[in-house]
Chain A
Amino acid sequence: MNLCPACGEKFLDDEISTISSHFYSMALSSDPTHIMWLNRNISKTKMQQYALNDKFTEFYDFSKEGLSMWIKKRFVARFFNDDPNVFVLDMQQPSVYTIMGYVTEHYHFLKQWVKSCAYILGRTDFSEIQKYEFDNISEEYFGKDGQPAHVDLLLQMGESVGLKKGEVISSVPLEKTVRALKYWNHVCSSEHWLDAMVSIHSLELIADKNVKDYGAKYAYFKPEILNDGITKEVVQFLKAGYEADQYHSGDALKLIEKYAGQLKMEREVQSYFLRSMDFFYGYLEARHERGKMYEDKL
């Protein structure tokens, strides 16, 4: 099985030629979703079907460095390249409004995150996956090693920049956030647990401090902010993510690579990762948009 990373259409086989011919015919009919995906990931220049097939073969090839590194490099190319996501740019010099936008949208993300982890836990029989997800859920809601729960750290960060906890909890997420949360809820509740796992845990790469080793031009934020942040609560939240997400995503990617190989699901996992990354891109834009809304209002 495989799916189109642009539109989510499912294919019965995982041949590259199936994906590439699907893209080719959609591009011939001037479909915006597929053309934008081709422009971003393959080439802006139209080519013959056989040449497009070769490009897709090259794009999906992880034989040199392994699946885990392929995911890391694709993620970096999407979020930390010369033309990074707008929220990554915001985070290079975050304002109070950047933090406010971050807190409000991320609160909704974290609520879905716990549900997603719980779906995976409930839908796999592999105990090491269950333990991994249990650890994730526990850290989000109960904290770890004497640290407050991740969600509490987030709300405290908001309060430290003047954002009331009640306002965050009662807020309605922006459209791009809603779209992304619906997608992750669907994947985690209905698709194979491994597709769910790669869809959500690959996203923790956003705060991986080693992204520059995978070709990133930017990091999520400048480490100096941990010594001289806007407030101590901002530092505490970012530090927790900085220290946790690195091993979270690293450990998850190792598990994903192991089980994708065992279950012969590598290509399917790659496509689910690519599709999830696009929803995450929009979700980060929503954080930026929310920050601009606070800036205009206050």
Chain B
Amino acid sequence: MKTNYEGCALCDGTWGDYWREIEGKNTFFCCSICADAFENMVNRVKKETGWKKIDSVSIEGNYSKGRDCVATSGDKRVEYFFRHEDGVITEFRLKGQGTSPVP
């Protein structure tokens, strides 16, 4: 799966040395919290869209602002926003479809 950052797949930081397999690719993260957040976000996108796999994720934003993202799978594309707290998704919204707060 392609990501838009050269550093940590979630925050683009280059500190740390934490690796986790995401969608079949060994992916670099700065720490386990970023890896948890990213993995939970990917699973949430798959659940919301029904996609079996994700080809790419592009992220803009940060912890306090939340993150605006674009994910693709084949010729399909989805835009969404999410926030996390200690790696757990606390807010997830598919663009144009209202807020879906996590209970």
Contacts and interface: CB of A to CB of B under 8 A. Distances in A.
Interface stretch (A24-32, A178-186, A195-203, A207-215): A24-32
B64 A85 contact: yes
B13 A35 contact: yes
A43 to B, nearest CB: 9
Interface string B61-78: 010110000000000000
Contacts of A45: 7, 13-14
B41 interface: no
Interface string A69-102: 0000000000000011110000000000000000
A202 to B, nearest CB: 20
A266 B78 CA distance: 51
Given A32-B31, A35-B31, A46 B62 contact: no
Contact of B11 (A27, A30, A31, A39): A39
A85 B15 CA distance: 24
Interface string B11-30: 11111111000000000011
Q: How large is the interface on B (under 10, 10 to 19, 20 to 34, 35 or more residues)?
A: 10 to 19
Contact of B14 (A28, A32, A46, A83): A46
A32 B12 CA distance: 14
Contacts of A44: 7, 11-15
Contacts of B18: 30
B94 interface: no
A30 B17 contact: yes
B33 interface: yes
B81 to A, nearest CB: 14
B43 interface: no
A83 B64 contact: yes
B30 A35 contact: yes
A135 B101 CA distance: 44
30 contacts: A28-B16, A28-B17, A30-B15, A30-B17, A30-B18, A30-B30, A30-B31, A30-B32, A31-B16, A32-B30, A32-B31, A32-B33, A35-B15, A35-B16, A35-B31, A36-B33, A38-B13, A38-B15, A39-B11, A39-B13, A39-B15, A39-B30, A44-B14, A44-B15, A45-B13, A45-B14, A83-B62, A83-B65, A86-B64, A296-B101
Given A44-B7, A45-B7, 12 more contacts: A27-B16, A30-B15, A30-B31, A32-B30, A38-B13, A39-B30, A44-B14, A45-B14, A83-B62, A83-B64, A85-B64, A296-B101
Interface of B: 7, 11-18, 29-34, 62, 64-65, 101
